[in-house]
Amino acid sequence: MALALSEIDFQQVVNPGTVIKTYGGTTTDVQRVNAKRLHYLKLDRAYQRAVLELNKALGIRSRKPRNIVDYTGTILELLGKFYTIQDTAKVMAKEYRIKIPEEELKKFYVENRDLITRRRAEYVLQNKDFRIATETGRLEVLNNMLVEVELKNKQAGGSNVDYCNLIIKILEQARKEIKGNELKMTVDGKIDINAS
């Protein structure tokens, strides 16, 4: 591999797998770097929680908001994954216990628009590698789910209401995948989901 894992800044690089692929890395290298990134994110969250616990133990109850710069990497990652400003604020409040005003996030977005756009492009490229990014892949997943739920329903006696409802939802989602989410109108003005 031309690029060493130690050369990747996990705080700034949203999709290290793409970077590794670009520099000629193998699928194993991509899997290793993605695992390291997940480990980094877990450590980062643990660190943030530890800081909160330490401050709590020391009796530090600062009402002033923490500096948004401390969370630049996290915020860029969320916005790079197409989170809205509102969703980003909610995640930061829930996971990191930092309340960032939406106006400040909007300003951050404008200041970092180029970087966020690049990260979004990387994210879209990354997602094309998943089988659920294609209709065939999604149908395959839905079919596997359907078979699994049908087997569980048979084991439960064949008339479990929860399993039956889940089967109906899976079938409806499969119909949407095949025909789209459009409702078709018949000549007499009635809605017909079977019309094509």
Condensed to tens digits (0 to 9), the pLDDT of residues 98-146 reads 888 899 999 999 998 998 998 888 877 776 666 676 677 788 888 889 8
Pairwise CA distance, residues 127 & 129, whole Å: 5
Using an 8 Å Cβ cutoff, are 111 and 101 in contact?
no
In whole angstroms, what is the distance from residue 186 CA to residue 110 CA? 47
Contact present, 79 and 100 (Cβ < 8 Å): no
Q: What percent of the chain has pLDDT over 70?
A: 78
pLDDT at 184 exceeding the cut of 60: no
Please name the amino acid found at residue 12.
Q
Flag the least confident range among 6-10, 128-132, 139-143, 147-151: 128-132
- pLDDT value of position 61: 67
Amino acid at 140: E
